[in-house]
Amino acid sequence: DTGVSQNPRHKITKRGQNVTFRCDPISEHNRLYWYRQTLGQGPEFLTYFQNEAQLEKSRLLSDRFSAERPKGSFSTLEIQRTEQGDSAMYLCASSLREVYGYTFGSGTRLTVV
């Protein structure tokens, strides 16, 4: 296990389509986080999981955004009915609670046309 893996690296989609991103965290990490970063801005927290439980989802940007971590391992972030404003880099990070250290994935760059 060499780190946090995100797929796809790039996604171009037409407005109105649904997209799903996947994050595979470091296997022993029980916490998983999703962030969004738009051009020129710092990352914006979206949601996080401890194991399979989604402990914070109030920061999800709208009801078009949803995330799952069904077995406490990989996670998916889905955006329904994409809008041009959803174009951004979506970052995933994982951590082991007691250690606090975060490892980030390379991100998925979404472009909505």
Q: Which residues bind another protein (CB under 8 A)?
A: 6, 31, 33, 42-43, 45, 48, 55-56, 89, 91, 93, 95, 97, 100-107, 109
Tracing tokens 């007691």 back to the chain, one arrives at 98
Q: State in angstroms the smallest separation of the CB of 25 from another protein.
A: 14
> Cα 14 from chain centroid?
20
Characterise 22 by phi-psi region: left (phi > 0), alpha (psi -120 to 50), beta (else). beta
113: Cβ contacts below 8 Å, ≥ 6 apart: 12, 13, 14, 15, 84
CB of 80 or CB of 96, closer to another protein? 96
Tell me if 108 sits within 8 A of 7, measured CB to CB: yes
CB of 17 or CB of 38, closer to another protein? 38
CB of 21 or CB of 48, closer to another protein? 48
CB of 12 or CB of 55, closer to another protein? 55
CA atoms of 63 and 85, how far apart (whole Å): 15
Q: State in angstroms the smallest separation of the CB of 93 from another protein.
A: 8
Q: State in angstroms the smallest separation of the CB of 84 from another protein.
A: 19
Q: State in angstroms the smallest separation of the CB of 105 from another protein.
A: 6
